[in-house]
Chain A
């Protein structure tokens, strides 16, 4: 594809930084459990500048309803599911809200679903948690996932139906644990979903964190991964497809607060139709203690039609020079006429050529989840969406 910039501040082409190039102080953001500690949302605030607050459909209110029956799961050996009171000291121990919507969800979720993967348990099959909404009443949900030492598991959290949901997910990957976490957002139109994921990685642990977002009017996800022990690795992947009028915002943040850790952030999206809007703000912070850090983040967007807009901003904040590598790339491009010509010159119709290129671009990210039924079902969702234009 031809790379052209769309509001790219910096990083149009792949490059690396030396040490000491502060861009934005991501770590200084205030954190609180209480919605009252955050001011009313206003588009002049940097955190909310890309979206119209009315699209939140009340998720920023002081009082929200609460999801419980909407959450479905099946008990499996090696895993326990428990609804605990949110006053329990484990709630909030992994991460705290950094914005008003996350705080509203935190304040209003009176109970929390605690999912614990037993020590040394190795789950052969993915664990499924389905969140199925059925109303447009603004609601809160809080989950905690604990991957105990030496455990290995895949969790697929899938959102569907009609929902207006503020969601906090705390993910505790303890020493030597491996977790493959997938969150799918395939809501019906009319839905709004704002989620904050707080992942904490212990020593020699591994997290693959993927978000796949296709359906819903407004989807905003802020996944934070914090290294607290050395020798760990996080792979954060995102794939999204925005149609006319949809707003999909991803704000991944990797906090390198321990030495010798590796992070890879890869988000890819496609947009079609008038006022299809995607936002990607990718933050990486390498703290003074994080010597030996190896990080790379990438965002690519494919604009399929006029009237769509992709904002993409990578930020890298480096406090030590003793790192292995730090780089980022961001590019938003149009569908390339020369690619189309090449495929057409081999007998392939315009529609089929477009399908081939877009699926090739996005399915690669879906495949990284390694969860067959998710790859298949979301590929057909993409095919159906491509057929719409």
Chain B
């Protein structure tokens, strides 16, 4: 059983208008096997939370802490966090020309586990995961995210999550821009990784749509850089019916 704790997290970014505080004291605790949905209107700081956990240099933590099994995550570099078991499925994955998917996956797996995977079992594992996500075999020869459609990029993120087997995964609007078929495929991938690895999931989303396919244990409503309300899956149903107006107007 692992535990990811976010305590009183304050995060700022530099803008043209000066320093701007985006997260204003976030508290969240996620245990292995739990699925947490973080929902909120645009600009509420959901993606900032995701990037801050992963350690993107643009986001400055000014107060608070992030602990993984008691270890101080904020002192770790981006790659150390990944090796400690944190994973961020990105909303806008970047293209890496000249680096093939197969080379990238093998390099990442080697970095995470500390040794190169046995070739034959690794190739089989990659192929199975790609089949599950309905990705064509030629995919592995393409360059990372280069010329991928929106749906292909998201499936590629989930593919990495399944293969790298993190302890906690943050999914940053993985559902956005997907049609229903692609959404189901991606959701199945998340559910598989959750079941297989007792994965703790922080599912960041604007819409309730994906929650039909991934059942959250907890729902947190994010407004203006803070958690405004918390509850179980029933809270998502209420958001579906009422929207965010109630929080924004308050």
Contacts and interface: CB of A to CB of B under 8 A. Distances in A.
Interface stretch (A208-216, A313-321, A341-349): A341-349
Given A345-B82, A362-B98, 20 more contacts: A1-B97, A339-B94, A341-B54, A341-B78, A341-B94, A342-B93, A342-B96, A343-B108, A345-B79, A345-B88, A346-B79, A346-B82, A346-B111, A347-B83, A347-B111, A349-B79, A356-B103, A356-B107, A357-B98, A360-B99
A41 B62 CA distance: 59
A362 B54 CA distance: 30
A303 B55 CA distance: 25
A162 B13 CA distance: 52
Nearest to A363: B98
Contacts of B55: 345
A373 B70 CA distance: 51
Contacts of B100: 360
B99 A357 contact: yes
A30 to B, nearest CB: 40
Interface string B64-90: 000000000000011101110001101
Contacts, number: 78
Contact of A356 (B81, B83, B104): B104
User: Which interface residue of A1, A338, A352, A359 has the most chain B CB atoms within 10 A?
Assistant: A338
Interface size class of A (residues with CB under 8 A): 20 to 34
Interface in A303-360: 336-339, 341-350, 352, 356-357, 359-360
A364 interface: yes
Interface of B: 54-57, 77-79, 81-83, 87-88, 90, 93-94, 96-100, 103-104, 107-108, 111-112, 143, 160, 164
A360 B90 contact: no
A359 B97 CA distance: 10
User: Which interface residue of A336, A337, A347, A361 has the most chain B CB atoms within 10 A?
Assistant: A347
Given A341-B57, A356-B103, A346 B98 contact: no
Contacts of B83: 347
Contacts of B56: 341
B78 A356 contact: no
B54 A348 contact: no
Given A342-B90, A342-B93, A356-B107, A347 B112 contact: yes
A360 B160 contact: no
Nearest to B166: A347
A359 B164 contact: no
B97 A346 contact: no
